[in-house]
């Protein structure tokens, strides 16, 4: 069995034909074009896959998308793509490949599912996994009891909106002190600039942290502390075995993951939290595509 | 089908014969006796049930127990009962009723499951529910996708150990500023006394709050704010529909539940959080027994 996996990110779209064993038979990726019509962009990226794997062989469609999204209505409104406000993505892909099941989940939910399926060889059969995407926002997704947990409205996993500091700065969500106000790329850059740093973006901040620039290191350590609070909260509620971290900011590597692992170990009070393993994604950009495929592949 | 439900609390033990439709055919309750051997206490409370419903008719045993517990090993170590450190509760009840399935979960997990089963008539078939017990500690349990979610080691639901205030006081668990350090009965009493209150216990504090004593009202409002943070955190992660609140401190009623409901409504930023309903348990002390029964009844 082969299915089509689609990954709608904030800056690029990817699609792939994925076999039941997780092998990727064909893959395409195109950068986001803000002025293009969504339907045309989809046709272009899917067409590059079906040019190599005939559409007739694709028996289902799994989609991971940047949020917000409404999996019940089948619509997505990726924050960075104004042309896609409330875009009926499930219907659009169902139109390209009629008669197949189409399933939609968040990008971090798919990342968690992909890592669960193919990235965590030592996991138990009924383990509990959090996938966390640290990027322009902070997103999350769970695999619980061996299945993706999406929630009644599909919104499970909003780990970026856990309170890191009740007295913290206001969050666009309406609450205050959310993890995202400290640990997203733009939040880290904003804090570093307010403390004298003059670089351009999160990538430059990561390079400076690697080079030992104190304010940049501290920006990552602050983010890691907020992420550790979020991780330990999720672990206390869900008895987690594994946390897998991905996303553009997490790609900075040890400057984020080392202090994150240290803060988690330091603050894990309850005994059952001490088995928790926190690691970078082992599948990279494939995690989201594999997880999207797993939404429609038989388990 | 009829099963035996057992509820091991911090101050009393209860047992009941429960039918497949949730009817309680026989029930017994005895106060905790610190000097008694656990086996004798169990025999006494179970014996009062089997005196009315023959043991041969009981086809399974579901147990809810105060924590900590180890559902994998089948042992419990209720904090308030020193004689029960690591007591093999599953084996002991399996010995009383040989050959039946025996399942063990936390008291708050059973409360959530009982409320899901019989206390929430308007819930959807795949809804997500948090049961929260506010008492000498703060415990929690989840029903997700229509089934109890216990976690790989059975420890899911530790909502009392979410961080309410990173700069807060140390918690016996080893972390700092846990919800339990603000919102448990003993924590509320400790804070009120440090601020001039001279009463005896959480029950007296609730009476004073009802009577309009300012420091007592404020103790409940502080607890409600910490609980609201915990509730919204769980809702953001798990896309919750319902939160049901029980336990001795919650029995204080509006002095806790009104400010809790207000704080949740005030701080619910993300759209999907606004559907969340927070209410007191509608089943009272039956919730735990019904949930324990539901662990072994067919679904």
| pLDDT tens profile B250-293 | 889 999 999 999 999 999 988 899 999 999 999 988 999 999 99
Specify the DSSP class assigned to residue A63. Answer: E
Residue B33: the pLDDT is 78
Indicate whether B204 pLDDT > 90: yes
**The domain defined by A121-280 carries CATH number 3.30.420.40:** yes
Cβ(A180)–Cβ(A152) under 8 Å?
Answer: no
Q: How far is CA A287 from CA A22, A118, B18, B131, B221, in A?
A: 10, 8, 46, 34, 44
| pLDDT tens profile A230-263 | 999 999 999 999 999 999 888 899 999 999 999 9
Residue A78: the pLDDT is 79
Choose the closest CB to B152 out of A124, A171, A232. Answer: A124
The yes/no answer to whether this complex scores an ipTM above 0.90 is yes
d(CA A159, nearest CA chain B) in Å? 6
d(CA B52, nearest CA chain A) in Å? 38
Residue B69: the pLDDT is 86
Choose the closest CB to A153 out of B159, B237, B239. Answer: B239
| Mean residue pLDDT across chain A | 92
d(CA B265, nearest CA chain A) in Å? 11
Choose the closest CB to A128 out of B151, B159, B268. Answer: B151
Q: How far apart are CA B261 and CA A191, in angstroms?
A: 33
Indicate whether A48 pLDDT > 70: yes
Bridge partners, residue B277, by sequence: B242
Enumerate the domain spans of chain A. Answer: 2-106+291-296, 121-280
Among B132, B263, B261, B255, which residue's Cα sits nearest to residue B204? B255
pLDDT band at B125 (very low <50, low <70, confident <90, very high): low
Residue A85: the pLDDT is 87
Residue A269: the pLDDT is 83
Question: Looking at residues B126-130, what average pLDDT do you find?
Answer: 88
Question: Looking at residues B22-50, what average pLDDT do you find?
Answer: 90
Residue B108: the pLDDT is 94
- Contact state of B164 with A166 under an 8 Å Cβ cutoff: yes
Indicate whether B194 pLDDT > 70: yes
**The domain defined by B2-109+286-296 carries CATH number 3.30.420.40:** yes
Superfamily covering domain A2-106+291-296: ATPase, nucleotide binding domain (3.30.420.40)
| Residues in chain A closer than 8 A to B161 (CB atoms) | 236, 269-270
Q: How far is CA B76 from CA A132, B34, B85, B87, B161, in A?
A: 33, 15, 7, 5, 19
| Mean residue pLDDT across chain B | 92
Characterize A2-37 residue by residue with b for buried, 16 or more Cβ atoms within 10 angstroms of its Cβ, and e for exposed.
bbbbbbbbeeebbbbbbeeebeeebbbeeebeeeee
Fold of B122-280: Nucleotidyltransferase; domain 5 (3.30.420)
| Residues in chain B closer than 8 A to A162 (CB atoms) | 233, 236-237
- Contact state of B151 with A239 under an 8 Å Cβ cutoff: yes
Indicate whether B214 pLDDT > 80: yes
Q: Nearest-5° angle of CA B220, CA B225, CA B227?
A: 90
Indicate whether A38 pLDDT > 90: no
- Contact state of A142 with B237 under an 8 Å Cβ cutoff: yes
| pLDDT tens profile A59-76 | 999 999 988 888 889 999
Q: pLDDT higher for B39 or B51?
A: B51
Q: How far apart are CA B39 and CA B93, in angstroms?
A: 9
| Residues in chain A closer than 8 A to B275 (CB atoms) | 153
Indicate whether A146 pLDDT > 90: no
Range of weakest confidence among A27-31, B9-13, B228-232? B9-13
Q: Does the fold of domain B122-280 match that of domain B2-109+286-296? A: yes
The residue of chain A nearest to residue B159, with distances taken between CA atoms, is A237
The residue of chain B nearest to residue A148, with distances taken between CA atoms, is B145
Q: How far apart are CA A180 and CA A134, in angstroms?
A: 9
Question: Looking at residues A119-137, what average pLDDT do you find?
Answer: 84
- Crossing angle for the helix pair A202-210 and A254-267, nearest 10 degrees? 80
Cβ(B188)–Cβ(B223) under 8 Å?
Answer: yes
| pLDDT tens profile B139-178 | 999 999 889 999 999 999 999 999 888 788 898 888 889 9
| pLDDT tens profile B66-124 | 888 888 899 998 777 778 889 999 999 999 999 999 999 999 999 999 999 999 867 76
Residues 6+ apart with CB under 8 A from B129: B112, B115, B116, B120, B123, B142, B143, B240, B241, B242, B243, B244
Residue A199: the pLDDT is 96
Bridge partners, residue B18, by sequence: B3, B24
| Residues in chain A closer than 8 A to B164 (CB atoms) | 166
| Residues in chain A closer than 8 A to B267 (CB atoms) | 175-176
Choose the closest CB to A269 out of B153, B154, B174. Answer: B174
């Amino acid at each position: 069995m082969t299915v089509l996996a689609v990954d709608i990110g904030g800056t690029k779209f990817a699609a792939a034909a994925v076999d039941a064993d997780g092998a990727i038979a064909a893959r395409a990726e195109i950068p986001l074009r803000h002025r293009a019509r969504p339907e045309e962009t989809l046709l272009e990226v899917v067409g590059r896959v079906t040019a190599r794997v005939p559409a007739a062989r694709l028996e289902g469609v799994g989609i991971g998308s940047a949020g917000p999204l409404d999996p019940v209505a089948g619509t997505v409104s990726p924050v960075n793509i104004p042309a896609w406000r409330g875009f009926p993505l499930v219907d659009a892909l169902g139109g390209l490949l009629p008669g197949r099941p189409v399933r939609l989940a968040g990008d971090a939910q798919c990342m968690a599912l992909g890592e669960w399926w193919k990235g965590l060889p030592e996991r138990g059969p009924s383990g509990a996994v959090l996938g966390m995407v640290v990027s322009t926002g902070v997103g999350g997704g769970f695999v619980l009891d061996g299945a993706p947990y999406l929630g009644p409205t599909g919104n499970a996993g909003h780990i970026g909106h856990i309170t890191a500091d009740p007295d913290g700065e206001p969050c666009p969500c309406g609450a205050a002190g959310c993890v995202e106000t400290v640990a997203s790329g733009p939040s880290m850059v904003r804090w570093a600039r307010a403390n004298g740093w003059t670089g351009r973006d999160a990538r430059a901040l990561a390079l400076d942290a690697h080079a030992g620039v104190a304010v940049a290191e501290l920006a990552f350590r602050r983010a890691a502390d907020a992420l550790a609070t979020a991780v330990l909260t999720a672990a206390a509620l869900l008895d987690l075995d594994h946390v897998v971290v991905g996303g553009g900011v997490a790609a900075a590597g040890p400057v984020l993951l080392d202090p994150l692992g240290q803060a988690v170990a330091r603050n894990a009070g309850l005994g059952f939290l001490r088995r928790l393993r926190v690691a970078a994604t082992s599948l990279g950009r494939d995690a989201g595509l594999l997880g999207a495929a797993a939404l429609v592949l038989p388990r």
